[in-house]
């Protein structure tokens, strides 16, 4: 279990010390890895080395679920607890493994095993998802935990397909594209093209391309860059948001695992365009494999002179640091992510001011999602005109969709914006599993809304979905067939938000808990007659008054379900 010994931890800590507080999460990860948990002595040692008050180090440890104050066992298993994996029997796997391990404990020589339920692990196409020591393992058919440990896969084999293969041109072959291969396929040509232009002209190109953010908020990328480029203050930062944790989402994982250099190239171009000299890639803590792949890619790029001083003979110098999250969905919220990089609890900040003027370390910052950045080299290489031939006038380009749930072929599909949901499910996903009828699809993830059979021909584009009140979000499509009790999925969503609320603002801190309590009754089929109004008040209060996007969307799927299936939320006749 303990790969590194305490002396190794000591040397890691002293090498991190000059960075101060921003190195807090890296130091805590190092301690967790070295000792299997973070004791008060080790926490005090870290506090001392980085100059952070003791109580604040404690506050940070307590915020992130992957940090433990107590020893957790020599083998740590995470089993997904969210909707797509529940459809594939994750609860049974959990019970089985938990039973076996409790039997095994006290049996002398056996290693101590801890099994934890986890929020979505981004392996929805491999449901039910299991991580063994943070690496994916195949859980199906259900086995013993010893089998799981032995079968730890080096990488999940995600099925990748689509009508368009631009972002995913080199993905889905179950290998990581090397720098050499990336370059053979035209990689880093866009960077060369960028260096031959003024930064402002790149920003113009991105603005004209009509690219909007692919992480869920759909903000125009070119405007974001322009605002940061014009903002006074230095240094400026670019950040790649790879904290993919929306239940049902795994697109950024596949892009990182399969084609890491496309993301690095996008980040380099963004940095050049706004005049940033340092970039961060913040990867969720549960994504150990993508973290390792991205680390290796950064090293390749450094060795080839694509990172560092005077890149490709230009005047532009740039370095990238990769950071790991530690189990907090909220850190996908951009300002919470900055706080996390700064070594703090992931509390979202008040906006305004916005990141483009007051971002990471209070400096002008561009933060873009993985998929957004992967679009950048494409736009430069294809040219605006060719790029805009894809998609619709208001939603140009292609989009990655994470299809999971009750379909025959779950996977990652690249579509031209505007294709229909029916096409995605029936043609690409090869239709419903077991020939069952389509009941609903949760679009956009936990923060999304439901599509029903009447929505099957709605175009999957920002404006097409918005017209029917569904957010495209990050491109998550979780499909439920007619045999499924949607109350189970709704309960899981409520639990997800209650577990992931940071607790800063009252509407979300209190509302996610009250919503969960009501959904517990709904799940049991015993809602109180007045629960309907209660759920509406809680939901609208969170949506209207929360600080950040998490709270503002924590009720969206449930409010959408209340519209489509009001009977689920009403007590049965005999109880009324």
Partner 1 sequence: MTNQTTVHLTIDNLPVHVPAGTTILKAAQQVGIEIPTICYHDYCTANALCRICVVEVKGARLLVPACTATVQENMQVNTRSERVERARRTILEMLYATVDLSEAPEIEAMATAYGVDRQRFPLAEPRHPPLIDDNPMYIRDYAKCVLCWRCVQVCAEDAQYTYAINFKGRGYETQISTFYEVPMPESTCVFCGQCVGVCPTGALKFKRQHLLEVGYSLDEILQMTRSERSGRRRREPRNV
Nearer to partner 1, 464 or 511 (CB): 511
Q: Compute φ and ψ for 317, nearest 5 degrees.
A: -120, 140
Distance between CA atoms of residues 236 and 362, nearest Å: 9
Instruction: State the Rg of the chain over Cα.
Output: 23
What does the angle CA 10 – CA 13 – CA 15 come to, to the nearest 5 degrees? 110
Q: Closest separation between CB of residue 556 and partner 1, Å?
A: 13
Letters for 404-443 (x = contact with partner 1 by CB under 8 A, - = none) are ----------------------------------------
**Piece in contact with partner 1 (CB under 8 A), picked from 205-213, 363-371, 378-386, 545-553:** 545-553
The 504-543 contact track toward partner 1, x by CB under 8 A, reads: xxxx-xxxxxx--x---x------x-----x--xx-xx--
Find the shortest distance in angstroms from Cβ 505 to partner 1: 5
In whole angstroms, give the CA distance from residue 95 to residue 100. 9
- Binding-site member from 185, 189, 436, 552 for partner 1 (CB under 8 A): 552
The region of 1-9, 277-285, 406-414, 495-503 touching partner 1 under the rule CB under 8 A is 495-503
CB of 78 to partner 1, least distance (A): 18
**Residue window 328-367: x/- pattern of binding to partner 1, with contact defined by CB under 8 A:** x----------------x----x-----------------
In angstroms, what is the minimal distance from the CB of 523 to partner 1? Answer: 14
Specify the residue for token string 């208001």: 394
Query: Quick one: which of 483, 544, 563, 575 contacts partner 1 (CB under 8 A)?
Result: 544
Residue 559 touches partner 1, criterion: CB under 8 A:
no
What minimum distance in Å lies between the beta carbon of 503 and partner 1?
A: 4
| Residue 22: closest CA among 313, 266, 341, 348 | 341
Phi then psi for residue 126, to 5 deg, are -115, 25
User: Minimum CB separation from partner 1 for residue 83, in Å?
Assistant: 20
Beta bridge partners of 113: 75
CB closer to partner 1 out of 43 and 262: 43
Q: Is 547 in the site for partner 1 (CB under 8 A)?
A: yes
| Cα–Cα distance for residue pair 237/278, rounded to 1 Å | 6
CB-nearer residue toward partner 1: 260 or 551: 551
Contact 170, 258 (CB under 8 A): yes
The number of angstroms, rounded, from the C-alpha of 106 to the middle of its chain's C-alpha atoms is 38
Shortest distance (Å) from residue 350 CB to partner 1? 6
Closer residue to partner 1 in complex, CB, 159/506 = 506
How many CB atoms sit inside 10 A of residue 196's CB?
8
**Least Cβ distance, residue 508 to partner 1 (angstroms):** 8
Residue the block writes with tokens 């506090």: 47
Q: Which stretch binds partner 1 (CB under 8 A): 92-100, 139-147, 447-455, 497-505?
A: 497-505
The Cα–Cα gap between 283 and 66 comes to 13
Instruction: Tell me the per-residue interface mask from 457 to 476 with partner 1, x by CB under 8 A, - otherwise.
Output: --------------------
Are the beta carbons of 253 and 172 closer than 8 angstroms? no
* Residue with Cβ nearer partner 1 (56 or 488): 56
Give the range of 38-46, 166-174, 250-258, 486-494 binding partner 1 by CB under 8 A: 38-46
User: Quick one: which of 294, 498, 558, 562 contacts partner 1 (CB under 8 A)?
Assistant: 498
Give the interface size with partner 1 as a residue count (CB under 8 A).
Answer: 45
- Indicate the residue among 197 and 509 with the shorter CB distance to partner 1: 509
**Which C-beta is closer to partner 1: that of 69 or that of 95?**
69
Beta carbon nearer to partner 1, 35 or 195: 35
Task: Show Cβ contacts of residue 394 under 8 Å, excluding neighbours closer than 6 positions.
Answer: 210, 461, 462, 463
Residue 573 neighbours by CB under 8 Å, 6+ apart? none
Question: Distance between CA atoms of 87 and 488, rounded to whole angstroms?
Answer: 10
Q: Are the C-beta atoms of residues 121 and 527 closer than 8 Å to each other? A: no
Report the largest interatomic distance among the alpha carbons of the chain, rounded to a whole angstrom.
78
Our CB check for partner 1 shows the closer of 41 and 154 to be 41
Show Cβ contacts of residue 141 under 8 Å, excluding neighbours closer than 6 positions.
none
Window 40 to 69, contacts with partner 1 (CB under 8 A): 40, 43-44, 53-59, 62-63, 69
Q: Which is closer to partner 1, CB of 51 or CB of 141? A: 51
- Measured CA to CA, the distance from residue 452 to residue 449 in angstroms comes to 10
- Roughly what angle, to the nearest 10 degrees, separates helices 40-50 and 6-16? 30
Nearer residue to partner 1 within complex by CB, 346 or 459? 346
Nearer to partner 1, 372 or 541 (CB): 541
User: Do residues 255 and 236 lie in contact, with contact meaning Cβ atoms separated by under 8 Å?
Assistant: no
Task: Report, in Å, the least distance between residue 542 CB and partner 1.
Answer: 9
CA distance 323 to 335: 15
Distance, in Å, from the CA atom of 387 to the CA atom of 394, rounded to the nearest integer, reads 13
SS3 113: strand
> How many Å apart are CA 456 and CA 451, to the nearest integer?
8
CB of 514 to partner 1, least distance (A): 5
Q: Which of 160, 318, 500, 557 binds partner 1 (CB under 8 A)?
A: 500
Nearer to partner 1, 46 or 177 (CB): 46
Q: Which is nearer to partner 1, 394 or 552 (CB)?
A: 552
| Nearest to 405, CA basis, from 340, 295, 481 | 481
CA–CA distance, 359 with 349 (Å, rounded to integer): 10
In angstroms, the CA 128 to CA 8 distance is 36
To partner 1, the closest distance from the beta carbon of 568 in angstroms equals: 19
Task: Kindly list the residues in this chain that would bind partner 1 in the complex (CB under 8 A).
Answer: 40, 43-44, 53-59, 62-63, 69, 328, 345, 350, 498-507, 509-514, 517, 521, 528, 534, 537-538, 540-541, 544-547, 552
């Amino acid at each position: 279990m303990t790969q590194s010994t305490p002396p190794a931890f000591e040397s890691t800590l002293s090498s991190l010390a000059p960075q101060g507080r921003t190195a807090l999460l890296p130091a805590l990860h190092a301690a967790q890895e070295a000792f299997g948990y973070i004791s008060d002595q080790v926490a005090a040692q870290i506090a001392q080395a980085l100059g952070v008050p003791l109580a604040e180090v404690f506050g940070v440890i307590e915020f992130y679920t992957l940090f433990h104050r107590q020893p957790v066992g020599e083998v740590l298993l995470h089993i997904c607890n969210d909707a797509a994996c529940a459809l594939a029997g994750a609860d049974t796997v959990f019970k089985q493994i938990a039973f076996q391990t409790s039997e095994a404990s006290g049996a002398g020589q056996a290693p101590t095993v801890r099994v934890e339920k986890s929020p979505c692990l981004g392996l929805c196409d491999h449901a039910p998802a299991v991580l063994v020591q943070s690496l994916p393992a195949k859980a199906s058919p259900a086995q013993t935990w010893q089998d799981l440990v032995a079968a730890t896969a080096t990488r999940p084999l995600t099925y990748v397909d689509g009508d368009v293969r631009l972002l995913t041109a080199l993905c889905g072959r179950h290998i990581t594209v090397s720098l050499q291969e990336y370059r053979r396929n035209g990689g880093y040509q866009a960077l060369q093209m960028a260096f031959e232009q003024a930064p402002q002209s790149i920003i113009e190109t991105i603005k004209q391309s009509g690219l909007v953010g692919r992480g869920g908020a759909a903000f125009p990328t070119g405007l974001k860059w322009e605002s940061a480029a014009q903002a006074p203050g230095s240094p400026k930062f670019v950040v790649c948001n790879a904290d993919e944790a929306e239940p049902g989402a795994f697109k950024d994982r596949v892009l990182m695992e399969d084609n890491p250099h496309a993301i690095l190239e996008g980040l380099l171009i963004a940095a050049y365009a706004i005049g940033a000299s340092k970039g961060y890639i913040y990867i969720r803590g549960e994504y150990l494999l993508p973290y390792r792949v991205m680390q290796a890619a950064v090293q390749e790029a450094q060795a080839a002179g694509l990172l560092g001083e005077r890149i490709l003979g230009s005047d532009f110098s740039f370095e990238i640091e990769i950071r790991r999250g530690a189990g907090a969905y909220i850190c996908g919220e951009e300002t919470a992510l900055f706080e996390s990089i700064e070594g703090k609890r992931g509390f979202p900040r008040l906006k305004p001011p916005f990141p483009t003027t007051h971002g990471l370390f209070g400096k002008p910052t561009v933060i873009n999602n993985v998929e957004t950045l992967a679009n950048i080299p494409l736009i430069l290489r294809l040219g605006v005109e060719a790029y805009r031939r894809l998609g619709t006038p208001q939603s140009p380009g292609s989009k990655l969709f994470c299809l999971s749930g009750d379909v025959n072929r779950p996977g990652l599909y690249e579509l031209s914006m505007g294709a229909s949901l029916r096409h995605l499910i029936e043609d690409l996903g090869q239709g419903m599993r077991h020939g069952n009828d389509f009941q609903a699809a949760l679009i956009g993830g936990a923060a999304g809304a439901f599509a029903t059979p009447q929505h099957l021909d709605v175009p999957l584009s920002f404006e097409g979905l918005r017209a029917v009140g569904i957010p495209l979000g990050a491109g998550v499509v979780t499909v439920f067939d007619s045999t499924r009790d949607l109350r189970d999925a709704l309960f899981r969503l409520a639990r997800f938000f209650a577990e992931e609320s940071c607790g800063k603002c009252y509407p979300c801190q209190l509302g996610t808990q009250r919503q969960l309590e009501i959904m517990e009754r709904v799940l049991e089929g015993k809602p109180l007659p007045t629960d309907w109004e209660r759920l509406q008040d809680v939901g609208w209060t969170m949506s209207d008054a929360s600080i950040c996007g998490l709270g503002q969307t924590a009720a969206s799927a449930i409010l959408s379900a209340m519209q489509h299936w009001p009977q689920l939320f009403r007590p049965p006749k005999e109880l009324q």
